[in-house]
Amino acid sequence: MSARTRELLGLIPVSLLVTAGFAAVLLTRTEDVSDATATYGLFFLGCCVFAHLFIRSRLPDADPYLFPLAALLAAFGLVMIYRIDAELAREQAQWFVIGLACFCATIVFLRDHHALERYRYTIAAAGLALLVMPRLPGIGAQVNGAFLAVQLGPIKFQPAEFAKIAIIIFLASYLRDTGDMLVRARLRPLPPQRQLLLIGAAALGVLVLVRLLGLGTAATVLLAIFAISLVSILRERPSLKHFGPLLLIWGMAMLMLLFIRDLGSSLMFFGGFLALLYVATDRLSLVGAGATMFLGGAMFFANSVSHVQSRVDTWLHPFDPDLLEKVGGSYQIAQSLFAQADGGLFGRGFGQALLDLPGGTKILPAAHTDLIYAVITNELGLFGAAGLILGYLLFVARGFKTALVAADGFSKLLAVGLTSVLALQVFVIVGGVTKVIPLTGVTLPFVSYGGSSIVANMVLLALLLTVSDHAREDRGALQGGLV
């Protein structure tokens, strides 16, 4: 079966979901049926078919599953947002069109993603600029204590959504060049006595630190992992000058925690970086050192910065009466859990969950953005939620598959980075909503309401498809050559 047919067939479940979803929501609100609402579904499907034809004409060899999966997730989101607020769904549909335009533009103007490598420092600078924008006076906007949004006239957007793509492009390009150098061992490894000395010194250091600082169990474990990672890095006697940029990125992540005050997006960026570092160097020790440094820093800030501290408190004690009543306290996470419990195994059904209190106020704060996963679980139950996660897993699988078949290092790292950062974003927000980690305000890719999120993720998808098209094209050429 050709990629073309497979992609088109992949759109069938999308159309089914859109039709069934809208029909169900419409049926449950017989009071305010209007013809306009029913056209959303058709319009959305039209856009999908257009995108499909566009992909096939421009990127004939691209992975045929990525787009249908993204469309499925977007359809899911659209139905859910429509169910929460019909007006928001109309805006979301508009953003979807704009996102689609940016998607096409990316594919048309960026015929070869390798061109990005030439501008890597420009792109890195742009990414950093985007990240600090919300802190700039005049245009920055604070949401729930975190600096994530920018208000430019009538347009409000979340620059972090775009920054994640820029930073992944830079890291992929940078690590392709330096990855080898980071871990290239000297000719002679460290003599055994020196190795023992190193291990002894590290163990002693850990013990002294634990005693001096009076560290708890979690901190001690972190410190131990850090020491083990450090020892195994030093054993290979790497040239230390290449570690500068890594420390710089760690420092950046820490600054982000302080500046943007958002644990979730810091985790997303730093996690993406560690994923790339691991793929580029194959050194678990580097990841271990990086991860423990990040967690150590986060723990330090959790005890010293009040905003981060209260986020952690509400995470650990969501039903504490004081925290529940505090503004920006645990009300949101508590309501999220109650909504999920209400959903049960099979959920309440599309349009059946309780959203409005008798007084007319909303029971779930930010139901269409942060907590959309809770609404989905409420209405479709554990099965619906697991289905959504499975959708993301399939998308991630196709993303990594793209990385596997890509021919060159940059393409591989780019695909890995984009896929990882998307997977981490899903983990950060769904993990927040389900109390795996503290709840922070990032969007659920393709599903949550939000213009920046839709546009940025459509661009991300365009990049993945471009990489995929080149990879399969190259491989096809190679196989052709062999015959």
Given the rule CB under 8 A, which residues bind other proteins?
Answer: 31, 275, 278-280, 282, 319, 321, 324, 334, 337-346, 348-349, 352, 354, 356-358, 363, 377, 381-382, 385-386, 389, 392-393, 396-397, 400, 403-404, 409, 412, 416, 420, 423, 426-427, 430-431, 434-436
User: C-beta of 130: minimal distance to other proteins in Å?
Assistant: 25
| Contact assessment for residue 172 and residue 417, using Cβ atoms and an 8 Å cutoff | yes
**Residues with Cβ within 8 Å of residue 479, at least 6 apart in sequence:** none
User: C-beta of 350: minimal distance to other proteins in Å?
Assistant: 11
User: C-beta of 143: minimal distance to other proteins in Å?
Assistant: 24
How far is CA 378 from its chain centroid? 23
User: C-beta of 245: minimal distance to other proteins in Å?
Assistant: 20
Closest CB to other proteins among residues 99, 445: 445
Closest CB to other proteins among residues 56, 283: 283
Closest CB to other proteins among residues 31, 155: 31
User: C-beta of 167: minimal distance to other proteins in Å?
Assistant: 18
User: C-beta of 283: minimal distance to other proteins in Å?
Assistant: 10
**Residues with Cβ within 8 Å of residue 28, at least 6 apart in sequence:** 349, 350, 351, 352
Closest CB to other proteins among residues 260, 430: 430
| Contact assessment for residue 458 and residue 77, using Cβ atoms and an 8 Å cutoff | no
- Residues 302, 436: Cα–Cα separation, whole Å: 16
User: C-beta of 423: minimal distance to other proteins in Å?
Assistant: 5
CA-based nearest residue to 224, from 196, 208, 203: 203
Closest CB to other proteins among residues 327, 357: 357
Closest CB to other proteins among residues 198, 363: 363
First to last CA, the chain: 22
What is 244-290 written as a DSSP string? HHHHHHHHHHHHHHHHT--HHHHHHHHHHHHHHHHHHH--HHHHHHH
Q: Residue 24 in 3-state DSSP? A: helix
Distances 382 to 337, 349, 385, 414 between C-alpha atoms, Å: 13, 12, 5, 33
DSSP 8-state symbol, 215? -
Q: What are the tokens at 340?
A: 């999920």
User: C-beta of 341: minimal distance to other proteins in Å?
Assistant: 4
**Any idea which residue has 């983990």 for tokens?**
427
Closest CB to other proteins among residues 125, 322: 322
Angle, helices 217-235/284-304, rounded to nearest 10 degrees:
150
User: C-beta of 347: minimal distance to other proteins in Å?
Assistant: 8
Cβ count within 10 A of residue 88: 17
CA-based nearest residue to 391, from 444, 431, 350, 440: 444
User: C-beta of 382: minimal distance to other proteins in Å?
Assistant: 4
DSSP 8-state symbol, 190? P
Closest CB to other proteins among residues 259, 338: 338
User: C-beta of 165: minimal distance to other proteins in Å?
Assistant: 19
Closest CB to other proteins among residues 231, 416: 416
**Residues with Cβ within 8 Å of residue 167, at least 6 apart in sequence:** 124, 127, 269, 272, 273
Q: What are the tokens at 98?
A: 């704009």
Q: What are the tokens at 159?
A: 């620059």
Closest CB to other proteins among residues 104, 382: 382
Closest CB to other proteins among residues 227, 279: 279
Which amino acid, residue 104?
Answer: C
DSSP 8-state symbol, 189? P
φ/ψ of residue 243, rounded to 5: -85, -15
